């Protein structure tokens, strides 16, 4: 995996505004925040997308995320927030190292803008697809 800006933060080559660290996880403020308190949570393991993340690192992220969300909410007094996790450049991933965004949402409109375009799930196609996905779980 190529070195990313987050590898350089992990190695200490580039500074960050750190909010949390343990053996497997680092969290720091996003340098171009969508709102006050916009925070990133990354595994130390060098995975590009979340499907590549080993179980132990996924578990560590899962434990840390709610704690960091609570701290961000307490510090910013945000009434709501979004968790965003982009995988692949087509899905808006700019930094090719797994990361979760915690993005506080305020009533001044700052935060994550969402353009949600729902379709409609056909029952038969949905049943077949759910079964297909379920059968492929490792």
Q: Which residues contact ligand AMP by CB under 6 A?
A: 5, 14, 16, 30-32, 40, 86, 92-95
Q: How far is the CB of 47 from ligand AMP (least distance, A)?
A: 13
Q: How far is the CB of 48 from ligand AMP (least distance, A)?
A: 10
Cβ-based nearer residue to ligand AMP, 40 or 61: 40
Q: How far is the CB of 14 from ligand AMP (least distance, A)?
A: 6
What are the strands, taking DSSP E only, across 16-135? 18-21, 25-29, 39-43, 80-84, 100-105
Cβ-based nearer residue to ligand AMP, 30 or 73: 30
For the sheet with 80-84, list strands across it: 18-21, 25-29, 39-43, 100-105, 80-84
Strand pairing partners for 17?
none
Cβ-based nearer residue to ligand AMP, 92 or 136: 92
Half-sphere exposure of 125 (CA within 13 A, CB side): 3
Give the three-class secondary structure for 81: strand
Instruction: Say how far apart CA 104 and CA 6 lie, in whole Å.
Output: 22
Residue from 38, 97, 99, 101 carrying the catalytic annotation: 99
Asked if 130 contacts 124 with a C-beta cutoff of 8 angstroms, the reply is: no
Strand pairing partners for 43?
25
Q: How far is the CB of 37 from ligand AMP (least distance, A)?
A: 13
99 is annotated as an active-site residue: yes
Cβ-based nearer residue to ligand AMP, 92 or 117: 92
Active site residue ranges? 99
């Amino acid at each position: 995996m190529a070195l990313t800006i987050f590898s350089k933060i992990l190695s200490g080559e580039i500074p960050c505004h750190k909010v949390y660290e343990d053996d497997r996880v680092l969290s720091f403020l996003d340098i171009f925040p969508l709102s006050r308190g916009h925070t990133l949570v990354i595994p130390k393991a060098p995975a590009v997308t979340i499907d590549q993340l080993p179980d132990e690192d996924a578990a560590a992220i899962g434990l840390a995320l709610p704690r960091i969300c609570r701290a961000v909410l307490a510090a910013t007094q945000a009434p709501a927030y979004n968790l965003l996790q982009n995988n692949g450049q087509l899905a808006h991933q700019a930094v090719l190292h797994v990361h979760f965004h915690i993005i506080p949402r305020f009533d001044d409109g700052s935060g994550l803008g969402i353009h949600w375009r729902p379709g409609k799930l056909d029952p038969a196609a949905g049943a077949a697809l759910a079964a297909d996905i379920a059968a492929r779980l490792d």
